[in-house]
Structure 1
């Protein structure tokens, strides 16, 4: 049976519901017109992801009802890669109202033995047949020769790599993603792969994904962000949100205060405006100071709300393309990652949350 009848990668791929809407493949509208700037594609196999991360909708042992068969709490419909490429290749008049503001493609691997080889071919095809810059969210566990893989996808046309470490400490990583949950991932392998990716793609071309709210202290998360920066990578933040049927499905997201403080830390560290030594923490590991008043450190950036916007890979103009609308929560008046510039009312709310518990 070939891939076309099995609807598997490399011939088929899942896309986020937001991506499918942006392509005109699914109906719907975006709250506050927050159209996605990046087309998120997810590799897919009938026997699924071999990992078992405790917070993930793709986890091997997830117990969910059919209607809850989601990833990041939304459905990811399957389409042929060729059909998606055909839409992306339509000239502007034909695509008007169909392809909305897409400035990048991000191809995400799953932990599957075929994914590395398939990914290289898919990157090559996407790069050759579309004019959008291309990122790959890599799964280090299935890359026995990570440097060779990174060189291959770079040669195929990818210009950036992301690696989802997610958990801020080796202990949490092992408990959430490793042997404690029957998962194959190992902390050391992930950080080794980040270093290799930076060697191939260069500084600032590699991102490290981190999830706030998996049980870490704020101090531990700041240390993880600083470590990513030391490797030459940027840290991109996600807020934990429970996935129904996952091992953490009944857990609560982090407080707004915790998330705001980490957003500010990541923004300042990524832009090298402060260092780890500038932080002060209380005995529980909560941030109590960034070394100077935030207004002094950030000025107009704080006034505009830049630190509270989604951090992600850019389009060709340098603006964030991967704005992931409502990837951390349902659309609503108070957002964790703003996929657009916050308005005055948003900023009043957000700034009032910074020092909350």
Structure 2
């Protein structure tokens, strides 16, 4: 495909890719926000948000071999919905050469690149190739969101680092082994194993270093707040950091009808994540009620709530140390209520957050 295909409709591009059987590494998917940032799609960002991380996703005709019940890439989705969305937003497909060309052109607008594997037999080797090419041609730090099921040896992780990735991501997603089994393992006849994901996390920290490995956790898959807080602490104790997502029901997925978590639940988990990751508090000093909701963080949290920082999108940093992967509106549609703020919340936002933070708390006290 020629680079001039940027001017054609996405429907035409998708049909051509399907007709020619094109796959990664020749083509790559990128988020709608990234396509807008690279001038490949029209549109504006609500409240003038700016995307600062280029998110890329490997793509194959066979699709992802994982069967995760909540995922937009899940194989059992209908042909009308399969692969059209992922973490809520559209992911159009372009030639990798075009994406690389545009990345060089818009490099000053970006702070990082994140390449995501999917569970496919070719994904690891293709990731090595693409990370190496990006590293050699673009002056931006690179994250690799790995597919742990494809990785067995420490040497595999070392290869990813040597190719040019400075940050490793591990999408454990669920706070408990039981929920993981239900939605990623035997419950959906999937290939993923809880123990193996944590093993790769530990190996990743050994290879990439403390603070250079991130874990994705999704709030609202059926865990209690206490279980999520304990998972946050466990990740932190291993030397990794958590990037938090709010569950969003993907159309066509097995959990399409499942409700998203309440905003108050998500706010408390955002605050708990921030305090734990920054060594300001511990899961062991937080208090939970009989419904396993956190009602006391064990410290005065008002200065941190007032700053708005705990409620911003958490993601890998850029060279400046600030969050680069800010994923504007990846968890919600643009509007008056945001789950993750892709910018610093203003005073009105903070006032709204305060009202949300302790809403829906049940009575009853319990010390962890």
Structure 2: runs of 5 or more not aligned = 1-16, 361-368
Determine whether 1:26 maps to 2:26: no
Q: TM-score, normalised by structure 1?
A: 0.93
Instruction: Encode CA deviations 1:44-74: one digit per residue, 9 max, x unaligned.
Output: 0000000111110000112363598322232
Determine whether 1:117 maps to 2:125: yes
Q: CA deviation at 1:158?
A: 0.5
Q: Choose the corresponding residue for 2:231, options 210, 218, 224.
A: 224
- In the other structure, the counterpart of 2:21 is 6
Pairing of 1:152-163 with structure 2 (within 5 A): 152-163=159-170
Q: TM-score, normalised by structure 2?
A: 0.90
- In the other structure, the counterpart of 1:302 is 305
Is the CA contact (8 Å cut-off) linking 1:35 and 1:100 kept in structure 2? no
Determine whether 1:237 maps to 2:244: yes
Q: C-alpha distance in 1, partners of 2:49/2:210?
A: 30
Q: Choose the corresponding residue for 1:143, options 125, 130, 151.
A: 151
SS of the equivalent of 2:324 reads coil
Is the CA contact (8 Å cut-off) linking 1:240 and 1:253 kept in structure 2? yes
Is the CA contact (8 Å cut-off) linking 1:22 and 1:100 kept in structure 2? no
- In the other structure, the counterpart of 1:88 is 103
Q: CA deviation at 1:218?
A: 0.2
Q: CA deviation at 1:148?
A: 1.2
Two-structure CA RMSD over aligned residues (Å): 1.6
User: Given the superposition, is the C-alpha separation of residues 67 and 205 from structure 1 closer, same or farther in structure 2, using an over 3 Å criterion?
Assistant: closer
Figure out how many residues of one structure are paired with residues of the other and give that number: 343
Q: CA deviation at 1:199?
A: 0.2
Q: CA deviation at 1:75?
A: 1.8
Instruction: Encode CA deviations 1:253-283: one digit per residue, 9 max, x unaligned.
Output: 1111100100000000000111121111112
User: Given the superposition, is the C-alpha separation of residues 200 and 68 from structure 1 closer, same or farther in structure 2, using an over 3 Å criterion?
Assistant: closer
Determine whether 1:328 maps to 2:331: yes
Instruction: Encode CA deviations 1:160-202: one digit per residue, 9 max, x unaligned.
Output: 0111101100000000111111111110000000000000000
Determine whether 1:47 maps to 2:62: yes
User: Given the superposition, is the C-alpha separation of residues 64 and 211 from structure 1 closer, same or farther in structure 2, using an over 3 Å criterion?
Assistant: farther
Is the CA contact (8 Å cut-off) linking 1:68 and 1:244 kept in structure 2? no
Q: CA deviation at 1:81?
A: 1.3
Determine whether 1:60 maps to 2:75: yes
Is the CA contact (8 Å cut-off) linking 2:236 and 2:277 kept in structure 1? yes
- In the other structure, the counterpart of 1:258 is 265
Q: CA deviation at 1:83?
A: 1.2
Q: C-alpha distance in 1, partners of 2:226/2:72?
A: 27
Q: C-alpha distance in 2, partners of 1:67/1:196?
A: 33
Determine whether 1:344 maps to 2:343: no
